[in-house]
Amino acid sequence: MKEEVLAQLPLPATAGPLEASATVHRTASANGDIVWHVWGELAAGDLPLVLFHGGSGSWMHWIRNIADLVAAGRQVWAVDLPGFGDSAAPEVGSDADAIIEPLCESMRELFGLQQCDLVGFSFGGMTAGMLLAAHPELARQLVLVGAPAMGVVPKRQFELKAWRHLPPEKQLDVHRFNLGALMLSDHSLIEGEALQVHVANVVRDRMQRRRLAHTDILARSLPQVMCPVHAIYGAQDALYKEWITALEQAYAATAPDFRGFALVPDCGHWVQFERPKAFLDALLAALKDGERA
Instruction: State how far the Cα of 30 lies from the Cα of 33, in Å rounded to an integer.
Output: 8
pLDDT tens profile 141-181: 999 999 999 999 988 898 999 999 999 989 999 999 999 99
DSSP calls for 228-266: -EEEEEETT-TTTGGGGGGHHHHHHHH-TTEEEEEEETT
- Residue pair 212/99 in contact by the 8 Å Cβ criterion: no
Q: Quick one: angle between helices 123-134 and 100-111, nearest 10? A: 70
Q: Residue 3: what pLDDT?
A: 61
Tell me what the mean pLDDT of segment 207-233 comes to: 96
Residue 1's pLDDT band (cuts 50, 70, 90): very low
Measured CA to CA in angstroms, residue 178 lies from 150, 158, 199 at distances of: 22, 9, 11
pTM of the model: 0.97
- Sign (positive or negative) of CA dihedral 61, 101, 211, 169: positive
**What is residue 288's DSSP assignment?**
H
- Residue range 68-81: average pLDDT? 98
Chain segment 262-284, per-residue pLDDT in tens? 999 999 999 999 999 999 999 99
Cα–Cα dist 227/139, whole Å: 7
Q: How confident is the model at residue 2 (pLDDT cuts 50, 70, 90)?
A: low
The mean of the pLDDT values for the chain is 96
The answer to whether 78 and 146 are in contact (CB under 8 A) is no
